[in-house]
Structure 1
């Protein structure tokens, strides 16, 4: 094949001698071979053998992208990210979530975004965590979206970049929203409702995506919360907005129907919402399971659940069931002088529960609390 090419080049040179007086045959030959495309490498082989990625990552990425077309350029991308503070776990997470990073333009797409976070004062590890968890940031414009959105967050939270960093590590996809058109008008409206800036800032830190809703949606939610009788000065007002905004009206109606089927009256439902709006963000399965769990003890009725709605937000398997089972055994063996309030028992810390209801009766109930026992004993002894 090589001989054939060379003969073809010589023949061409005889026909175009004037042109080749300027360009030697050997240079034409070099140009021919250097312009031939590099051989692509199968993604799985590239990740496993060339960069020692996990089998899981290689398998997932190769199901989306089959080949690395320019291995040397992809090497440069991975090297740059490593030099910028990305650990192996960051890189694995990044390419699993966005395999096309492997073929991105390093100079135009990746470097400007990393530099953007560095210039703002983010640490290398924070930048890596934010980008790897939400790699869509790499496709977002610095000037039109990232920069204005960061400024919007800072205007609400203050100049403390630690708060901004915490929010973005928790929900980096915030930067894919236009916060100038959502966050800012929503915050301004809530302030006009009499809600203080510090309370809004705390809620932004806890539930940031709520503030990415359209301003018309937030206004509608405020109206509904007002109609349900929660005072705007109450700390629960913003939580109520978040609860209502998290579901469609159809899902809201389904939640009401569920509560009614469990024995809650309309007044009970309103009372639960006013006391603990968060209940309405809990899954239907969990609400049903916890309600039935307390009713099955024979020690409380629906009114007890209504008066202690925060119990509906507790962990069933890790907190409620083990504790109620311990109390059941202690009571059946007459080891309790006085039956404690179920609400109190379910609210105290694991350490206090262990010290009061498990440690003194370890022979009777120790095995029921074995999951928590080891760590709690170590904590107590310390």
Structure 2
């Protein structure tokens, strides 16, 4: 009897617990099942880059769409406007602005105080005017994303030490501002020393820096390898064409070089003939295979040349190859004047 009474009491106790939940249980229940849940914070709407550039800054549709292909939306249009305003105040014209943004769209999401101004200060401290800076940056806007202290500053110092003046440095950078993206201490400076060690005069090296600055940012070991290959082809290191031969061969991959050799062999030239052509007119190896074929076809149509193997005698091979090079350059200059 007592046992039965105890069971009933336990049963009533459990029922009581189920019916009278604690305040904590009730609050948890309300949190998970209440229809009035806390509302999420809404993020700021993103702005389409193309629309922003066209409507806010009067960019051309072409430039705006080009930039939008890389950076489609802006989270902070105000920051982007501060970038464009800074560049405009620094002397960049509408054309300059469009070109910079089109080539480096990421500039739109940069903080001008952190990303842009330190670079401009490096140039200013180095003695360059606002218009100089515009020319340098326009040559390769990617330099704005490089470190001011670790890359741009040291690179400018190397160029100044080698070339001697800001005017000379500016001449190089207007042609190829991209050289500032490299460690010029390890590339340009080392390559100058390598070339000098092979007897190439400093005056010729400086001349080449002005005309072909990108040649000097190759790894020094690759330059040394090319010098050995050029030497194996019987090139006279004292020849004025020696540096030209190094530059041309450095610009070509092994595969590209082999394709050109194959092309010349198809014209009836032997390995020795090809080496002779390279020693005589190394620049022709910088012309594309397609252009060489087109020009040779034009030259042969004049009836002055015979492409058969038996016709390759004396300096005939050198003559036609030299004319290929001359003709290509004539066409290049002609097209340049037509565009003016």
Band of TM-score, shorter chain: 0.7 to 0.9
Q: Give the structure 2 partner of residue 306 of structure 1.
A: 318
* 2:271 aligned residue (242, 262, 266): 266
Contact kept in structure 2, 1:61 and 1:99, CA below 8 Å: yes
* Structure 1 portions without partners, runs of 5+: 1-34, 321-348, 351-370, 376-382
Q: Give the structure 2 partner of residue 96 of structure 1.
A: 102
* 1:42 aligned residue (43, 48, 52): 48
Shift of 1:296: 2.5
Shift of 1:36: 8.4
- Tell me the alpha carbon deviations over residues 27-76 of structure 1, each in whole angstroms, 9 at most, x when there is no partner: xxxxxxxx986544321221111111111111112222222222222222
What's the secondary structure of 1:204's corresponding residue?
A: helix
Q: Does 1:245 align with 2:257?
A: no
Shift of 1:305: 4.7
Shift of 1:317: 10
Change beyond 3 A, Cα 1:172–1:294: same
* TM-score, with length taken from structure 1: 0.70
Contact kept in structure 2, 1:136 and 1:173, CA below 8 Å: yes
Q: Does 1:140 align with 2:146?
A: yes
Q: Give the structure 2 partner of residue 204 of structure 1.
A: 209
Mean Cα deviation higher: 243-252 or 98-107: 243-252
**Partner Cα distance (1:318, 1:236) in 2:** 21
Higher relative contact order (CA 8 A, sep 6+): 2
Contact kept in structure 2, 1:243 and 1:277, CA below 8 Å: yes
- RMSD (Å) for aligned C-alpha atoms: 2.4
Q: Give the structure 1 partner of residue 85 of structure 2.
A: 79
- Tell me the alpha carbon deviations over residues 230-253 of structure 1, each in whole angstroms, 9 at most, x when there is no partner: 222211111000111111222212
* 2:231 aligned residue (226, 230, 239): 226
Change beyond 3 A, Cα 1:130–1:36: farther
Shift of 1:224: 1.4
- Tell me the alpha carbon deviations over residues 310-361 of structure 1, each in whole angstroms, 9 at most, x when there is no partner: 32224559649xxxxxxxxxxxxxxxxxxxxxxxxxxxx98xxxxxxxxxxx
* TM-score, with length taken from structure 2: 0.79
Q: Which has the larger radius of gyration?
A: 2
Shift of 1:108: 0.9
The 5-angstrom pairing of residues 1-382 of structure 1 reads 39-157=45-163, 159-301=164-306, 302=312, 303-307=315-319, 309-315=321-327, 319=331
**Partner Cα distance (1:154, 1:205) in 2:** 13
Mean Cα deviation higher: 309-318 or 83-92: 309-318
**Partner Cα distance (1:199, 1:317) in 2:** 22
Change beyond 3 A, Cα 1:155–1:229: farther
* Structure 2 portions without partners, runs of 5+: 1-40, 307-311
Mean Cα deviation higher: 182-191 or 123-132: 123-132
**Partner Cα distance (1:311, 1:123) in 2:** 44
